[in-house]
Amino acid sequence: MGIEARLIKQKIGVEITGINLSQPQSDDMLSEIRRLWVDHVVAVFPGQIVNDDQHIAFSQRLGELELINMAALQCEGRPEIYEATNLDKDGNIMTDDHPILTINRGNQKWHSDSSFKAVPATASMLHAYIVPEEGGQTEFANMAAAYEALDAETKELCEGLTAIHDFYWSRRDVEEQAFTKAERDAIPPARHPLIRLHPETGRKAIYVGSHTREIEGWNFAESRALIERLIVHGTGPEFTYRHDWEVGDMVLWDNRSALHRGLAFDDQREKRRLHRTTIAGTGTTL
């Protein structure tokens, strides 16, 4: 059986059907999938019946996996799986002030996964188990297409700049005591080029998001203004795709060239649980 690929939007997204991700894939199939998702930044695989082990096994074909650094964010017994959820380990909705819920709500800001690491993630793949009736979609932005659409002056301004990314900047609204000192020390700020060269496509992409604190050597207010301007530009309608989740959907995206964010939902009434694997990067970005 061959796979079918349908472009979702001109500048972002491909839907891949005719494939069963619970089964091992051939090397040829893997390279076809890799070509499709790298070219289109986001690949959607609807209606997969896949468990965590199969999700991990498929993801490992794309590269080594990151292990989730905070135990409270992991799926029990599986450090390869991050749970994007408002539910506790018993399946109950977390209270409004629960620090883990606050950390997870941080995903509602545009970001690139683990850009706070010196070697940030190559890709991530979410699998939907429980989805709310309303809201809770995930949006993706093609930051390579956004780079190409910048005016020449802004491209020149950004060239050669280095940005500082910091997990505790994007989570500055989370109570101090939610993190142990060891957890803080384990994630020091990281430096990345503001304009990142994609190692597989050779395309340049704007590399900023919620973890980006400031631009090295710039004053703070000017840093913030440029970072926010780039995020607003990159997440405009022509560069973005909004995924409306159905249970069983799997979505794979390229963190080197995409921003993403979860949209809000009524997390004190409705339930949502998605599992994510994270494909580790292969080197530093500078």
Q: Cα–Cα distance between 62 and 154 in angstroms, integer?
A: 34
In whole angstroms, what is the distance from residue 58 CA to residue 17 CA? 16
- In the complex, which residues of this chain contact ligand OGA (CB under 6 A)? 84, 107, 113, 124, 126, 138, 260, 262, 274, 276
Nearest distance, CB of residue 126 and ligand OGA, angstroms: 6
Choose from ligand OGA, Mn ion, none: what does 127 bind? Cβ within 5-8 Å by kind: none
- Least Å distance, CB 84 to Mn ion, is 7
Residue 274 interacting entry, from ligand OGA, Mn ion, none, C-beta within 5 to 8 Å by type = ligand OGA
What minimum distance in Å lies between the beta carbon of 135 and ligand OGA? 10
Q: Are 261 and 62 in contact (CB under 8 A)?
A: no
Find the binding residues for Mn ion in span 143-162 (CB under 5 A).
Answer: none
- The residue sitting closest to ligand OGA, measured at its beta carbon, is 262
Nearer to Mn ion, 115 or 285 (CB): 115
In whole angstroms, how close is the CB of 102 to ligand OGA at the nearest point?
14
Determine, following the binding rule CB under 5 A, whether residue 254 of this chain makes contact with Mn ion. Answer: no
Residue by residue, DSSP assigns 167-230 as HHHHTTTS-GGGS-HHHHHHS--EEEESEEE-TTT--EEE---TTEEEETTS-HHHHHHHHHHH
Half-sphere CA count of 196, side-chain side, radius 13 A: 29
Do 42 and 140 touch, CB atoms closer than 8 A? yes
276 binds, among Mn ion, ligand OGA, none (CB under 5 to 8 A by kind): ligand OGA
Distance CA 165, CA 124 (A): 18
Residue 80 touches Mn ion, criterion: CB under 5 A: no
Cβ proximity to Mn ion, 87 vs 150, nearer residue:
87
- The rounded distance, in Å, linking the Cα atoms of 133 and 245 is 10
Could you tell me which stretch among 8-16, 99-107, 194-202, 203-211 binds Mn ion (CB under 5 A)?
99-107
Binding mask 109-138 for Mn ion (x = CB under 5 A): ----x-------------------------
- Interaction with Mn ion in 190-219: which residues (CB under 5 A)? none
Does 66 engage in binding with Mn ion (CB under 5 A)? no
Query: From the list ligand OGA, Mn ion, none, which binds 240 (C-beta under 5 to 8 Å, kind-based)?
Result: none
Could you tell which of ligand OGA, Mn ion, none binds residue 117, using a CB distance below 5 to 8 A set by kind? none
CA atoms within 13 A of residue 29's CA, in its CB half-sphere: 16
For the chain, where are the alpha helices, taking DSSP H only? 27-40, 52-60, 99-105, 143-148, 152-158, 167-170, 181-186, 220-234
Give the nearer residue to ligand OGA in terms of CB position, either 53 or 244. 244
CB atoms within 10 A of CB 77: 7
Rounded Cα gap, residues 109 and 102, in angstroms: 12
Q: Give phi and psi for 232, each to the nearest 5.
A: -60, -45
Q: Which is nearer to ligand OGA, 48 or 124 (CB)?
A: 124
Q: Which is nearer to ligand OGA, 82 or 179 (CB)?
A: 82
Name the minimum Å distance from CB 243 to ligand OGA.
Answer: 8
Point out which residues bind Mn ion (CB under 5 A). 107, 113
